[in-house]
Amino acid sequence: MPAPKTFSAANAAGESFRTGAGGAVYIYRFGDQNVGRDWLSRKRQGAGGNFPAPAANTLNDWALKQSSYGSQSEGIADNPFISVATDYDELYNHGEGWVQKILQTVPTLGEFLVPPATLHRPSPTKLISKSETEWLFYDGDHPITDYLVGWQVNPKLP
């Protein structure tokens, strides 16, 4: 099975993204800032905190299985990833209808600045992930909220 691509400017060519100091990447996730599980992978929720990094081939398998923003594989107990986007407008504008419906119902948009090595491309054969600017955040070492820049009211609420 091919290795998922971690974030780099080359691997995100043609996508909208911003970087900060040291090459950290700005990412976005929709959810409810008051609901902790919206910001944690299922693996982190089940482990009650940090967990040992899975074997490289296991991490690879999970990244390749998750095929689009908020896919059903995000809800599987052993999944150490959460879906994020480097451009929330692109996610909304190019997301499938069911993604847009989700984005129109949650109250909060979180902005985070994360190390590029924490971001993995989901199934590289799925073009929808690129058009949504979707990446997978691996939260085994630190929860995404450790990288919080700020919360805002979801700008996509009707």
Q: What is the pLDDT of residues 11-33, one digit of tens each?
A: 888 899 999 989 999 999 999 99
* Phi, psi (rounded to 5 degrees) for 149: -95, -45
Report pTM.
Answer: 0.87
Give the pair of three-digit tokens for residue 131. 């058009």
pLDDT of residue 75: 56
d(CA 110, CA 126): 25
Element at 72 (helix H, strand E): none
* Phi, psi (rounded to 5 degrees) for 115: -65, 140
pLDDT of residue 69: 46
Contact partners, residue 102, CB within 8 Å, separation at least 6: 30, 70
DSSP string computed for 80-120: -EEEEES-HHHHHHHS-HHHHHHHTT--EEEEEEE-GGGEE
pLDDT of residue 91: 93
d(CA 59, CA 128): 21
Residue type, 36: G
Place of tokens 């989700």: 102
Average pLDDT of span 49-56: 77
Q: CA end-to-end span of the chain, whole Å?
A: 41
pLDDT of residue 112: 98
Average pLDDT of span 128-151: 91
Is the pLDDT score of 73 beyond 80?
A: no
Residue 1's Cβ-count burial label (10 Å; 0-12, 13-18, 19+) is exposed
Is residue 119 within 8 Å of 84, Cβ to Cβ? yes
Quickly state the pLDDT bin for 68 (edges 50, 70, 90). Answer: very low
